[in-house]
Structure 1
Amino acid sequence: MDFTGTRAEIQQRMAATRDLAARRMAVLHELSPRRGERILEIGCGAGLLLREIGLSVGAHGLAAGVDISPDQIAAAERECDGVPGVRAAVGSIAGLEWPDAVFDAAVAEHVLEYLDDPRAALFELRRVMKAGARLVVLATNWDADFWHGPEPELTNPVVAAWRAEVPWPNLPAQLGPMLAAAGFSATRQVPVPVVNSGLGEDTVALWMSRLLAVAAEESGAQARPASWLAALDRADAAGEFFYSSVPILTTAVAV
């Protein structure tokens, strides 16, 4: 999935919310970056996590971010301006421009589930990681995403249009064997849930609903995204809105 144009703008607004700030801290805690380390972020987006990694590894370390979207890399460069050791570049996990065994850790936040072949991506990540390096993957079990408020006949087609863009909608459940095959061990999984009972500017739910609406509009599917968004607003005004999501943090070690 390529976050450019409107999608990039929505993703950047969502990344700035309180909800995702808390999630970034959970990812950072799991990644546990140390001074002087070389850490790779795949799908670095607008660079908010990359900045935190750069600050953690310091001037003698390296925080390398890769994203396929030039819009996102431009945002990441602005976000990380002045942080020594940060390098952000347009690139693809299909072929990383790094030699073998150079990174002490790597992180992929909401990336692998959107790839046609996450197995190949894990093999490529393992190639550039040292033995004993830490890998942190954040992915959502999309079957557990829940919207309450609009009628199901409005919600279901919009959600289905989004699901059609996610080749691996429940990747956390399938990740263990993929990691083992690619040369990782010691897998650990913990949930990082999001719960919103309103549609404020600082919630994931607001910006995720906008993203789903764009996907439904672009898909040409038999969905009514504008009507769905209006129904969400009515439910919110009536105190009847609810959204929950269950991203899963998976941590493994390169062997």
Structure 2
Amino acid sequence: MTSPSFETAKPDQISYLDRLAASDLGRSYKQRMLDELAVRAGQTVLDLGCGPGTDLGALAEATTATGAVLGFDRDQAMVDAARARTADQPVVDVRLGDIHNLALPDQSADRARTDRVLQHVTDPGLALAEIRRVLRPGGRLVMGEPDWETLTVDHPDGALTHAYTRHVADEVVRNAGIGRQLARLATGAGFAVPAVIPLTSVFRDVRVADQVLGLERTTRRAVTAGYFTEEAAERWLAHLTQGPFLAAVTFYLVVAEA
């Protein structure tokens, strides 16, 4: 089942996040999120699920030395990495914390962002209500999430593509349909939602797609879970490396206002 086109070892989470952020795809959507966030000098900005601090520097630059950037992550290794990377930026404060229960006063922040975080949390609705609590009136939240049920990979056997997508949506990602649910959930948490921006991520290089999707690793998990037979998995992966490749998934960028 292994092909030279596919990674066989899962990258550690920090390396994966860094690689995605440095890709054309990552740079493009992250800049769009920053533009929509519209941070102004002197504001207090929250990066919820900040990971290794990838976006904290850009937020610090936008709010200037007169503002404050608070990064939260539930993983101590991520917090440690983010603190090390922002040690020379006094406006940045990185904290260990849970997005469902932020250790912040009511109405204490002007801006907040979540980037591919809500697909993993236990209760997205509760997390959004907590963000609403800590934002000041007129504050803005920008969220970016994929809708994994829109994932499609071109293959002559459409049933295999369907099985692959169903496995990802059912077994791999906790909240696989969160992208299309964001506007409804944010409205339910008390936000106004002035903008929903769909961005289609298109992959035409199988190696680039594999770095984001983990094609072979995910296929192996699908075999174990009963979505593919071994023979079907062999046919699926063989075609992906032999012919013209195309995969796509819809990424939703949602702007919400308190």
Bin for the TM-score computed over the shorter chain: 0.7 to 0.9
Closer/same/farther in 2, CA of residues 64 and 193 from structure 1, 3 Å limit: same
Residue 244 of structure 2 is aligned to residue 240 of structure 1: yes
Indicate the residue corresponding to 2:48 in structure 1.
Answer: 42
Residues 148 and 168, structure 2, Cα contact 8 Å, conserved in 1: no
Amino acid at match of 1:169: A
Choose from 38, 44, 66 the match for 1:32. Answer: 38
Equivalences, count: 247
Change (3 A) 1:150 1:106: farther
d(CA) in 2 for partners of 1:61, 1:150:
54
Secondary structure of the equivalent of 2:71?
A: strand
Distance, in Å, in 1 between the alignment partners of 2:90 and 2:60 is 7
- The 1-side partners of 2:254 and 2:194 are apart by 7
Could you list the runs of 5+ residues in structure 1 that have no partner in the other structure?
none
Shift of 1:217: 3.9
Alignment of 1:1-255 (within 5 A): 6-149=12-155, 158-163=164-169, 164-200=171-207, 203=208, 205-210=209-214, 213=217, 217=221, 220-222=224-226, 232=237, 235-236=240-241, 238-254=242-258
CA deviations on 1:117-150 (whole Å, 9 max, x unpaired) are 2111111101111010001111112121122358
Q: Distance in 2 between matches of 1:71 and 1:229?
A: 36
RMSD: 3.1
1:13 is displaced (CA, Å) by: 2.1
Change (3 A) 1:229 1:6: farther
**Aligned partner of 1:210: which letter?**
G
Deviation of 1:192 (Å): 2.2
Change (3 A) 1:231 1:165: closer
* Alignment-mate amino acid for residue 119 of structure 2: E
How many angstroms does 1:106 deviate by? 0.6
For structure 2, which runs of at least 5 residues remain unmatched after alignment?
1-9
Question: Radius of gyration: which is bigger?
Answer: 2
Distance 2:94 2:161 in 1: 37
Larger mean CA deviation between 18-27 and 111-120 belongs to: 111-120
Asked if structure 1 preserves the Cα contact closer than 8 Å seen for 2:149 and 2:165, the reply is: no
Higher deviation after alignment, 80-89 or 157-166: 157-166
**For residues 137 and 17 of structure 1, do their structure 2 counterparts lie closer, same or farther at Cα, with a shift above 3 Å needed?**
same
Q: Say if 1:150 and 1:231, in contact at 8 Å, map to a contact too.
A: no
Q: Shift of residue 161 of structure 1?
A: 3.9
Instruction: After superposition, give the CA deviation of every residue in 1:97-133 in whole Å (9 maximum; x if it has no partner).
Output: 1111110011111112322321111111011110100
TM-score (structure 2 length as normaliser): 0.81
Contact 1:44–1:50 (Cα < 8 Å) also in 2: yes
